[in-house]
A and B are shown apart, each in its own frame.
Chain A
């Protein structure tokens, strides 16, 4: 299957700091999505991106669909303790959805 590589694998940051994570693939995707997963729960959609170059914000979250359609990044500004969790990117192509390897975020108060 398709491989989506996320980096970094984990992050430990101080509350108030900004966070940046990205997702890359060797394949082109038509849609990029970013999800957050809390322990024992299902992923929750944060942002969906539909066009190359698109930059979309959702509160303190900003995500961009890379021009090459092979990558996307997610930024979180002014992190707070409840931002803790695992962030997954997902790409859609060929009517299938592929999830990234995840970035584990820990926010230290």
Chain B
């Protein structure tokens, strides 16, 4: 069964460093998303992406964050200058093109980001 994959599974970085989290969505999906989950808390929406541009973003997704689909398969989240409070699990998700099914998002296993 097709699935969303994410790399790395765990990323440790120093405060102020840039990190890039990578995701490979399900191949026929056209909507892509990033979420984060701080340990023990709820999942928080960051951004949605469709047709090579951001569809929506939350207040969390400030200028330190950017997303890109550099080729036909990868979807990346970049954090320009990491802060301690960026430590969290980051989930990528994707959903099918169009109609109501674009709400049915399939999540990857997550990347645990630890900022020291």
Q: Is there contact, CB below 8 Å, between B103 and A31? A: yes
Give the Cβ gap from B84 to chain A, nearest Cβ, in Å: 22
CA distance A37 to B106 in the complex (A): 12
For the complex, count residues of B whose C-beta is within 8 A of A: 23
Q: Which of A37, A45, A96 contacts B45 (CB 8 A)?
A: A96
Q: Which of A40, A88, A94 contacts B43 (CB 8 A)?
A: A88
For the complex, count residues of A whose C-beta is within 8 A of B: 25
Task: Give chain A interface residues in 63-107, CB to chain B under 8 Å.
Answer: 88, 90, 92, 94-102
Main secondary structure of the interface of A (DSSP, over half): strand
CA distance A102 to B33 in the complex (A): 20
Q: Is there contact, CB below 8 Å, between A45 and B104? A: yes
Q: Which of B33, B43, B106 contacts A45 (CB 8 A)?
A: B106
Q: What are 9 pairs between A and B in contact, CB < 8 Å? A: A33-B105, A41-B109, A42-B107, A43-B91, A48-B100, A50-B100, A88-B43, A96-B58, A97-B45
